[in-house]
Amino acid sequence: MRPFFIYNTLSRKVEEFIPLKPGVVTYYSCGPTVYLPQHLGNMRSYLFTDTLKRTLRLNGYEVRHVMNITDVGHMTSDQDGGEDKIEKTARAEGRSPKEVADYYTGLFIRNIELLRIEKPTVPPGQFCRATEHVPDMIALIGRILDRGYAYVAPSGVYFDVEKWRGANRMGRLSRQSLEEQFSEQRLEHASDKRSKHDFALWVLNQPHHLMQWDSPWGRGYPGWHIECSAMSMKYLGETLDIHSGGLDHVPIHHENEIAQSESATGKPFVRYFVHNAFLVGMEGVKISKSAGRFPVLADLAAAGIDPMAFRLFCFGAKYRSELAFSLDAVRAAQTNLDYIREFARGVPESIAHSPDSDWVESWFDRFHEAVNNDLNTPQALAVVLDLIGEAYRRGDKRIWNAMRRIDTVLGLDLESVRQQAASAILPPEIESLRAQRDEARKRKDFARSDALRSELQSRGYEVRDTPQGTLLHRRG
């Protein structure tokens, strides 16, 4: 097996990735808080997760991936300050918190689908909603309390950061002291906390809060951080291979997840912590929720840009580098997309289903090596463009098996592009026979379907059955 290398924020080094259990990767990535549309900067983060998953699969791993949907407990400040984000939107829009969460979850999933981002595999195709895992969070808070790393106060159950720090563990990921970690936060702490650094696991005595659950400590609702510890460990076990998120998660959210999980289990929580950098505007400003109007996927559609161009735009930059967003930059990616698709459309059926030429394998190796080198996707993209250029130069399109494997990582669905083009150029009478055959197959009239196959073959067409129906290609 070819080694796969990834930058681990825990060690500040690019490390060879070796999973705990051979052949299987357990992977948790932080998902959206569903109170606003996810902007393109957020989508870059999910595209990064998708590329990481696809690359792990290229390397033969089964990827067990969990992603959450935060629909309660994420306050307007990451350090428990302000108001619950979902409830703030609910009040502003005159809707219930569930209506807000359902609406923005639906919007998020449509964007995920438009960008061809694969859904989580555990549970299959499902995102884990925080509100559906409150009992798991309550159980985990109970374990932390039992081990003496949390305490109950009138305003909530808090994680005892000073006690955890006594064991010299807080700040391991961010490499910041507590004062540094929290210096930028305007702390609106409850007066009954032992230390201003302590963070809420469970919030009590907030009668105005709409979403409330019973707990051993009283009616209330969970803090933001506990959901990720509870859901990841529920589905993936107490030690995860990979945990990812945006760089902004390092100093607080992920530090707190480590503290919660490791204090409860006494085991290492995450082996490889991986973080992606931001999408920035042309002025170098982070495109963020606090910066006012920020672009979303629909803005690209309005500008006539294909979602796959944004996918390729993100692929063309290293995930650890900031990426400058502009419509022109995404249009440049659209040009590359058009070039790749144009090649795909020109690959005939006969070539698509025969072996590649001998010279192609070393190009695939170069692609594989690039993505295995800490996801060097710009280099990998350059290899793809050069490979197509080489095919044109040699007048040899026998590269399609390599392209199909490459596309398992690129995610552009090039085979469908090729098939659509291959079937779009049929004369009307052939198209009519094809439609009749699809109809016969739908009726399970196999005698008729076989007769039509023979008819098409006698007229010089190769006939292939695909999930999309009969595929024809003119022989020769």
Residues in binding contact with Zn ion, number by CB under 5 A: 2
User: Which residues fall within 8 angstroms of residue 431, CB to CB, at 6 or more apart?
Assistant: none
Q: Least separation, in Å, of the C-beta of 207 and Zn ion?
A: 28
Q: Least separation, in Å, of the C-beta of 54 and Zn ion?
A: 22
* Residue with smaller CB distance to Zn ion, 26 or 470: 26
d(CA 360, CA 178): 53
Q: Least separation, in Å, of the C-beta of 323 and Zn ion?
A: 22
* Residue with smaller CB distance to Zn ion, 69 or 344: 69
* Residue with smaller CB distance to Zn ion, 228 or 360: 228
- For residues 238 to 257, the per-residue mask of contacts with Zn ion, x marking binding by CB under 5 A and - elsewhere, is --------------------
- Indicate if the alpha-carbon torsion angle 159, 160, 161, 163 is positive or negative: negative
* Residue with smaller CB distance to Zn ion, 197 or 249: 249
* Residue with smaller CB distance to Zn ion, 228 or 414: 228
* Residue with smaller CB distance to Zn ion, 97 or 245: 245
Q: Least separation, in Å, of the C-beta of 260 and Zn ion?
A: 11
Beta pairing class for 24-29 and 62-69: parallel
Q: Which stretch in 23-31, 59-67, 155-163, 348-356 sits in contact with Zn ion by CB under 5 A?
A: 23-31
Q: Which SS3 state, helix, strand or coil, does residue 276 take?
A: strand
* Residue with smaller CB distance to Zn ion, 63 or 228: 228
Q: Which stretch in 74-82, 228-236, 305-313, 345-353 sits in contact with Zn ion by CB under 5 A?
A: 228-236
What's the full length of the chain, in residues? 476
Q: Least separation, in Å, of the C-beta of 208 and Zn ion?
A: 26
Q: Least separation, in Å, of the C-beta of 459 and Zn ion?
A: 59
Q: Which stretch in 29-37, 100-108, 284-292, 318-326 sits in contact with Zn ion by CB under 5 A?
A: 29-37
Beta pairing class for 220-222 and 13-16: unpaired
Decide if 220 contacts 213 (C-beta within 8 A).
Answer: yes
Rule CB under 5 A: say whether 231 interacts with Zn ion.
Answer: no
Rule CB under 5 A: say whether 228 interacts with Zn ion.
Answer: yes
Q: Which stretch in 43-51, 209-217, 221-229, 326-334 sits in contact with Zn ion by CB under 5 A?
A: 221-229
* Residue with smaller CB distance to Zn ion, 70 or 336: 70
Strand partners, 14: 7
> What's 159-195 look like in SS3?
ECHHHHHHCCCCCCCCCCCHHHHHHCCCCCCCCCCCC
* Residue with smaller CB distance to Zn ion, 58 or 259: 259
Rule CB under 5 A: say whether 259 interacts with Zn ion.
Answer: no
d(CA 115, CA 312): 10
Q: Least separation, in Å, of the C-beta of 227 and Zn ion?
A: 7
Q: Least separation, in Å, of the C-beta of 124 and Zn ion?
A: 21
Classify residue 328 by burial, with Cβ atoms within 10 Å: 0-12, 13-18, 19+: exposed
Find the helix or strand (DSSP H, E) in which 67 lies: strand 62-69
- Phi, psi angles (nearest 5°) of residue 56: -60, -40
Q: Least separation, in Å, of the C-beta of 228 and Zn ion?
A: 3
Q: Least separation, in Å, of the C-beta of 99 and Zn ion?
A: 24
> Which of 10, 30, 250, 258 lies at the binding interface for Zn ion (CB under 5 A)?
30
Q: Which stretch in 50-58, 191-199, 224-232, 402-410 sits in contact with Zn ion by CB under 5 A?
A: 224-232
Q: Which stretch in 92-100, 137-145, 222-230, 276-284 sits in contact with Zn ion by CB under 5 A?
A: 222-230
- Phi, psi angles (nearest 5°) of residue 353: -115, 25
Q: Which SS3 state, helix, strand or coil, does residue 464 take?
A: strand
d(CA 353, CA 341): 18
Q: What is the CA radius of gyration of the chain?
A: 26
Q: Least separation, in Å, of the C-beta of 133 and Zn ion?
A: 13
User: Which residues fall within 8 angstroms of residue 72, CB to CB, at 6 or more apart?
Assistant: 84, 86, 97, 130, 131, 211, 221, 222
Buried b (16+ CB within 10 A) or exposed e, 285-324: ebbbbeeeebbbbeebeeeebbbbbbbbbbbbbbbbeebe
Residues contributing to the site for Zn ion (CB under 5 A): 30, 228
